[in-house]
Structure formats: structure tokens, C-alpha cells
Structure 1
């Protein structure tokens, strides 16, 4: 036996890394997900050069959508310069020839982990959210077959009961990230581990949103101008994180979602989670020509 018999001749990688069959299947499932908003669509998740749980689902959707004229922005917890975000962005660019950007307004595809940019996205942009667990019923029904039947019957009584128990025991709904939300009045979805602050940004948004879980092999979508309503009781209004009075220590912006940074001597300081918004604010303060788009929130109040 020789080494030649164990290897294959060199062949160029398919455009966008994924083979044509994988892209074809993903496109079919993405179209179905758009047709039935919030409904989970199974797909054969392929292997990509990163570990499961680090954004493989979002990466596969982006690689299916990308083309040489695309402009790609990737963020991780709101930051463009995180190791995971930079690695994914660079990989997408190298296998597709697409341009890279940190600017939300200049991107055609925005792939994100755990955050939605503060600047409002347009009709010609696509948001791809990485999702670790796409099943909102997993906490109340671990049997996936029964959970599928519950979705088919629109039977979300156990989910409502969980929220009710939180109010009885704690005095308020404790659910933070991944807040269960009704899409188009029919399917309940888990909107990725985005904070409660970001969930209203999906309601009647102008852009198309895909949510994909590579490890769980599921994806779902929120088409443009689709209702996304958090599950709340009529006498218990939906509340977002109280960040209205917090000020970013670097950029000075106020009224946006902040990251809390504990200090060695006690106490905390805050930095705006959307790092590119902070950079734009700093550039504008220094007199550099900078365009800051319309934002979902103004002075801590949702205004879209």
C-alpha cells in the first residue's frame, strides 16, 4: 500500500465552502421557513471548520446566502472584534470573496451571536442569528416527538404555566434571554439567546431574519413585517432590561443596552454592547464624518 492509494487528487473547494447539494437543501428549507414563520425546519447540518456550538448553524446559512458582491458583518455579544466574530468573518470572506465590514449600515448580511444591532436594518439586509437551542418547549417537554405534536396543535399551555409559576414564586417573570415569542400568531419560537431588550426589534422588522442551530439541525425564520409577540399576561406587561439611565464610559452614549464591567475596588462601569455604535459615537465626537443610522431605542425607550 502506498500513500497515493490513500489520497485523492487535489480539487478546488466549492464556492462558499459548502457543496452544491448542501446549499440546495438549505435554500429549500430556508424558503419553507419563510413560508411558515417561526416553524422549525430540520436540515442535514454539514461539517464546517469550527466546533459545534460556536456558530455552525449561522455560518451555514450565511455561506448559502453569500455571493462575491455581499458585504458581511459578524458580531459576537455585540462586538465585531471578538475572536469568534473575527474568525467567522475572515473565513466567509476568504471562501466567497465577499467584503468585510464593521458598519451595520454598510452590511448586506449580518451574522450575530446573542445580539441584534442597535441601528435599524433595512429591507435589503438579512440578519442571521446563531441559536444553540431552537426548541422553546424543551424545558417543559423533553420528548421531541411530543414537542413536535404540541407545536402542530398550537398547544403551549405548559409554557404559559411556567411563566405563571415564575410570577407566583418570584413576583415577576424571570425569563431573561431566549424569551419565548409568538410568531405571526401561530408558532412559538426561541429568538436565540438575545436579551429581552432585543426581542421587540424582531416585531414588524423591515429585514429578513434567519435563526439556525447547527448542532440541533434546525432553522426557522422571521420574514419582514411579521408580528413577533413575547408571551405575556395582559396584566403583566413585557419589560426589557432597565438600561435607560446607564452611560457608556468610553463613548458617552446613553439609553442603549450596556455591558456591566465589575471593578476591582467594587462597583461597576458600563460600556455599550454594540461596539460599532460606540466607535461611531466617538468618531462623531472627534469631528470625523460618521453616519449613525436610526436606532430601535431612543433614551432607553423602544421607538421603532
Structure 2
């Protein structure tokens, strides 16, 4: 046997950018994460063409799931047109031949930073969330080896204490994002820096959610039809952001999560955080044949 018989023809990069060994490992780790909902599975995070902390974990999972017939949507805090979102989307199209889209209903893979789309996801869609800090116990236990033991013992008393202190000091729980949530009645996870508004969307959802932290080298998942319950006291119900009376100044839509835009005169305008959902509503108001899917919220209340 000659050396040239053992080599493959030169190519600029492997399909999906990552080498096959890396993708096999991430697939195995993802399957374990799905089998144990909310459990953090370690993996060997590879280098990708963006800096750590800017979505490397989510990008690696998406590259592993990528197929030539995939349709990918990438959003950054609700926006499809940010530099980070558009760059990742174009990269996925280049290395995997995937089709790009901004429409939630068309996508088969949705990679997101800090938001879950307002339109409901189907069972044939996968949501990939970028996670900067996967450890919910880090604020109370900086030693990760001890934190792992606390997860093993389901010892989450210190998390309840933090919420209680916020309640006593401020009269309400101030945890605005990364709200600690119990998955499948066993493991507490941090559901990435999504706002409280988005956490109920994970509970008993039809779609698979994969959360990945590239810098911390951890993958965890919420399988379809799995309970995700925010940590709350029996006499203090879970509250989301009160945006029921806020109206998007561009689309005229109300009852959804809004971005506040301070004005020079001290007033504020509000704009739909889910940018493409706002665009679809504008096009529908202008008479275009646009189909709006069912949403998680109705008039600012979870159905």
C-alpha cells in the first residue's frame, strides 16, 4: 500500500467545517444530554471562526446537525440582521450548503442568542441556544467540583435562598434572565440568558432544545414534551415581563416582548424584539399574503 492511497483529495474544509471525529463526539454527547434532561454533559469544544463567548457552543451543535437540505435561521436577541446573526447564517450556508431564512416557520434549525421566537416551534424543528454560563450554581458555589456534587445530590437550597433574598429586599424576584428552572423534576438548569418571558416556552414544548456552552464545554438539552418549571415559591407565582399594554411603534402589534427605545425627550418607544415577526405583521397590514403561525402568548398572557 502506498501513502497516496491512504490520503483523501485535498479540499478547503470538511463538510460542515468540523472534522468527522468532532461531530461524532458532539452527537454522542447530545444524545446523552437528551436522555438526561437538564444534565450538563462535558465535551471537547473545538475551535471555530468566532471568538469564545460569541456563540461557539451553539455554532458547533448547529454544524453537527447541518445537512444539505437544512434551512437555518440565526437570531441575536431577537434580531435576524445583527452582525453576529447574519455572519453565522452566511457561514452555515457556505460550509454546509444550507438554505438561509429569517422566517421561523420555514427553518428546520434555529440558532439563537438570548431569545426564543414568538411563533410556536413544531416537532420537526430544533432550537439551539447559545449559553455563556451553563452553571446555575456558580453564583452560590464558585468551586465547580462541589457544584457537581450539589447537582448529584439535587441540593439546590442556596438557589432558593437567593430568590428569597431578592423577594425580601425588593418585594419581588429580580432575576430577569437565566432564571433557574427545574427540568423533568430532577436537574436545575440555567436556560441561557433568555428573559423570563421565554422560559415558559420550553415547558412541554413540541420541539427539541439543545443548549451549548463552547467556552465552558458543556451541552444540555430539553427534549420534547418535558416539564421545565421555574423555581418559585408556592405563594409567589412566577411573573414574566409585563408587556401587555406595550405597542410596537412600527407594526402596531401589542402583547408581545418589546425592546424599549428611549427618546431624547425622555419618553420611550417600543419595538417587537422578534424582528421578523414584526416584519411579517407589517407586511400583512399592508395587504401582502403573509401567514402568521400560532404564538406562545396571547395578549401578553401565556396560553
Task: State the TM-score, normalized to the length of structure 2.
Answer: 0.96
Query: What whole-Å deviation, never above 9, does each CA across 1:22-68 have from its counterpart, x for those lacking one?
Result: 00000000000000000000000000000011100000000000100
| Equivalent position of 1:205 in the other structure | 205
SS at match of 2:110: strand
State the partner residue of 1:55.
Answer: 55
Match of 1:242 in 2: 242
CA separation in 2, counterparts of 1:12 and 1:164? 55
**2:19 maps to which residue?**
19
Question: In the TM superposition, what is the alpha-carbon distance from 1:10 to its structure 2 partner?
Answer: 5.1
> Once the 2 structures are TM-superposed, how far is the Cα of residue 117 of structure 1 from its aligned partner?
0.1
Partner of 1:97: 97
Question: For the residues of structure 2 that align with 1:31 and 1:10, how far apart are their CA atoms?
Answer: 32
**Structure 1 residue 253 corresponds to structure 2 residue 237:** no
Which deviations, in whole Å up to 9, do the C-alpha atoms of 1:209-237 show, x marking residues without a partner? 00000001001000000000000000000
TM-score (norm 1): 0.96
1:12 Cα deviation from its structure 2 partner: 3.2
Q: Classify the secondary structure of the residue corresponding to 2:23.
A: helix
Q: Which segments of structure 1 move beyond 6 Å, counting only runs of 4 or more?
A: none
Instruction: Name the counterpart of 1:172.
Output: 172
Residue matched to 2:4: none
2:285 is aligned with 1:285: yes
Q: Which residue of 2 aligns with 1:189?
A: 189
Tell me what 1:6 maps to.
Answer: none
- Residue 88 (structure 2) aligns with: 88
Q: CA separation in 2, counterparts of 1:265 and 1:108?
A: 43
Question: Over aligned residue pairs, what C-alpha RMSD do you find?
Answer: 0.8
Unaligned runs of 5+ in 1: 1-8
Distance 1:36 1:74 in 2: 26
Partner residue in 1 for 2:41: 41
Q: Deviations over 1:152-184 (max 9, x none)?
A: 000001111111111112111111100000000
2:250 and 2:124 map into 1 onto residues whose CA distance is 32
Partner of 1:3: none
For structure 2, the residue ranges without an aligned partner over 5 or more in a row are 1-8
- 2:230 maps to which residue? 230
SS across alignment from 1:269: strand
Count of aligned residue pairs for this structure pair: 295
**CA deviation map 1:221-259 (0-9, x unaligned):** 000000000000000000000000000000000000000
